[in-house]
Amino acid sequence: MNTEALFESLIDGILETGYGVVDSFLAPNEVVALRNRLQKRQAAGQFREAGIGRAADQSGQAAVEKAIRGDEILWLDVATVTPEESAFLERIDQFIGYVNRTCYLGLRDSELHYARYPAGTFYKRHLDRFRSDSRRRLSVVCYLNDNWQPTDGGQLAVYLPQPDGSEQTTLIEPVGGRLVCFDSGLLEHEVLPASRDRLSITGWLRTD
Ligand code: OGA
Ligand code: MN
């Protein structure tokens, strides 16, 4: 699939089912490069335990609450970006441009972080936008795992309200190179515990 077809498939998924998934948002060599970079940065002590609540964005120190969320994160920073990271940011910017041209969402920028869920950790069911003044419009999660197996756990569970009032749960495996995208204010979701470290870049495309 070419880049525009990937983008279109993400948008179609969001409009039709509430979330979009594409499997080769990153090529295998790009996954390896970003995973290596994540691991170097982690070994250098750059990661921090993630927080929850309204300061859980780039701006502030949110409360760490391991019973809700156990990942460690590192915000991508244009000031310290490496070539593989800058290629990723470039692809996200292209996606923002595509969404703005085709859906008029008025996306302005993005905030993205590496995330590492150590074995046994999880992120309980939540929404990514919890206050009306949040700029977060679309959530993106791009997985960096090598050879992820269903028995490794760590699925992204998405909860989809049905027209009859019931709810459908879909599980998405965090397979390397796969990107998931959804409306930050609408889709409730959860990260199930994994039996090995689970790696990703997660972020938000923001309006003004
Ligand atoms: C998050 C989140 C999903 C995932 O960081 O807010 O829900 O699959 N991540 O990592
Ligand atoms: Mn989330």
Q: Over 90: is that where the pLDDT of 151 sits?
A: yes
Q: How confident is the model at residue 146 (pLDDT cuts 50, 70, 90)?
A: very high
Pull the structure tokens for residue 83.
């070539």
Mean per-residue pLDDT, 88-101: 98
Over range 89-115, report the average pLDDT.
97
| Strand partners of residue 141 | 180, 202
Model pLDDT, residue 132: 65
Q: Which domain holds residue 81?
A: 3-206
Ligand 1 atom at minimum distance from 50 CA: 5
| Backbone torsion region of residue 99, taken as left when φ is above 0, otherwise alpha when ψ lies between -120 and 50, otherwise beta | alpha
> CB-based burial of residue 80 (10 Å sphere; 0-12 exposed, 13-18 middle, 19+ buried)?
exposed
CATH code for the domain in which residue 186 is found: 2.60.120.620
| Residue type at position 74 | L
Other C-beta atoms lying within 10 Å of the C-beta of residue 58: 13
User: Which comes out higher in pLDDT, residue 203 or 1?
Assistant: 203
Structure confidence at residue 120 (pLDDT): 97
The number of folded domains in the chain is: 1
What are the pLDDT digits (tens) for 10-53? 999 999 999 999 999 999 999 999 999 999 999 999 999 998 87
What is the model's pLDDT at position 55? 67
Sheet strands side by side (includes 123-126): 123-126, 188-191, 156-161, 167-172
Arithmetic mean of pLDDT, 163-191: 97
- Closest-approaching ligand to the CA atom of 187: 2
More confident residue, 101 or 61: 101
Q: Over 70: is that where the pLDDT of 154 sits? A: yes
Report CA(140)–ligand 1 centroid distance (Å): 8
Inform me whether the pLDDT recorded for 201 exceeds 90.
yes
In order of 49, 52, 130, the CA distances from 55 in angstroms are 13, 7, 11
Please state, in angstroms and rounded to a whole number, the distance separating the CA atoms of residues 62 and 58.
Answer: 10
CA–CA distance from 127 to each of 124, 138, 143, 149, 157 (Å)? 10, 11, 19, 26, 12
C-beta of residue 49 within 8 angstroms of C-beta of residue 64: yes
pLDDT at 58 (0 to 100): 75
Please tell me the number of the ligand nearest to residue 201's CA.
Answer: 1
In the block, tokens 């915000």 appear at 75
Using CB distances shorter than 6 Å, the residues near ligand 1 are 115, 123, 128, 141, 156, 174, 189, 191, 200, 202
Q: Give 133 Cα–ligand 1 centroid separation in angstroms.
A: 21
The pLDDT score that the predictor gives to residue 62 is 73
Tens of pLDDT along 47-81? 999 988 766 777 666 778 888 999 999 999 999 99
Find residue 150's DSSP bridge partners: none
Q: Give the pLDDT of residue 57.
A: 75
